[in-house]
Amino acid sequence: MPAPEPATRADVLARLADHLAPCRPPHPLRVAVDGPDAAGKTRLADDLTGVLAGRRDVIRVSVDDFHRPVEIRLRRGPLSPEGYYRDALDHDALIERVLRPLGPGGDRRYLPAAHNLRTDAALPDVPRTARADAVLLVDGVFLLRPELRGHWDVAIYLHVDPEETLRRALVRDLDLFGSAETVRQRYRERYLPAQRRYRSEARPLDRADILLDLTDPSAPAVLRWPAGNPVGADRESW
């Protein structure tokens, strides 16, 4: 891994905003904020939305709102890493309801969410219309899988070591899972092995346009930055 460039969080957010704001393809700019569980994807995308405010209209979407129903996502068992990687998320819905309508030739009518994870219920179809110059920021895991990566104009990956992921999960997910033992089991048996498979098969650290190390969220380290404007690159050849 390349040596990082030290920076403050505010510096990196400003640099991201300065990079994205001038990118104006003939459709909304589709940006992925990828990374392992507990990497800080949602917070970074939310913070970046605030920094971009006033310069571009921003659409915020989370992959957490595109889960499959429980009978599908847990059909291999609640601790199956294969089930988490293969079954948990409805990538077809994300493509058909968000990425394709906001992409080349799309009508810009999109659905920001499809499924309520807590109630395990489908959400009503209430389409919205994006401005042609909007920026779509999508946060979530596994966003550079082969079926998705051709739909991004800019891909950001947040790197965090597995040990740090587990440390954060023991704080973040304690109420959700009820005990530290359960959190450790879920991450060691399901989430972390699924992320290893993802990194091995999809190589997101190699494919991302922008690579940040978020071990210290207050001081992200820039590991890769594009030399030129990535918009218009042939994503199908990734």
Domains held by the chain: number: 1
CA nearest neighbour of 91 among 70, 65, 120? 65
Q: What is the mean pLDDT of the chain?
A: 93
230, part of any domain: no
3, part of any domain: no
Side-chain-side CA neighbours of 122 within 13 Å: the count stands at 5
DSSP 62-77: EGGGGBPPHHHHTTT-
If you average pLDDT over residues 90-100, what whole number do you get? 98
2, part of any domain: no
Q: What is the pTM of this model?
A: 0.93
Tokens of 2: 């390349």
233, part of any domain: no
State how beta strands 115-116 and 121-122 pair: antiparallel
Q: How confident is the model at residue 2 (pLDDT cuts 50, 70, 90)?
A: low
224, part of any domain: no
Does residue 237 have a pLDDT over 60?
Answer: no
Name the DSSP class of 96. Answer: I
3-class state of residue 56 by DSSP: coil
Task: Using a pLDDT cut of 90, give the percent of the chain over it.
Answer: 91
If you average pLDDT over residues 63-72, what whole number do you get? 97
pLDDT digits (tens, 9 = 90+) for 156-180: 999 999 999 999 999 999 999 999 9
227, part of any domain: no
Greatest Cα pair distance, the chain, in angstroms, is 50
3-class state of residue 148 by DSSP: helix
Q: How confident is the model at residue 7 (pLDDT cuts 50, 70, 90)?
A: confident
DSSP 172-202: HSHHHHSSHHHHHHHIIIIIHHHHHHHHHHH
CA dist., res. 130 & res. 127, Å (int): 10
Cα radius of gyration rounded to whole Å, the chain? 17
For residues 139 and 214, the answer to whether their CB atoms sit within 8 Å is no
228, part of any domain: no
Domain of residue 209, residue span: 9-218
Q: Which CATH number fits the domain that encloses residue 41?
A: 3.40.50.300
pLDDT digits (tens, 9 = 90+) for 25-66: 999 999 999 999 999 999 999 999 999 998 999 999 999 999
pLDDT for the residue 174: 93
212, part of any domain: yes
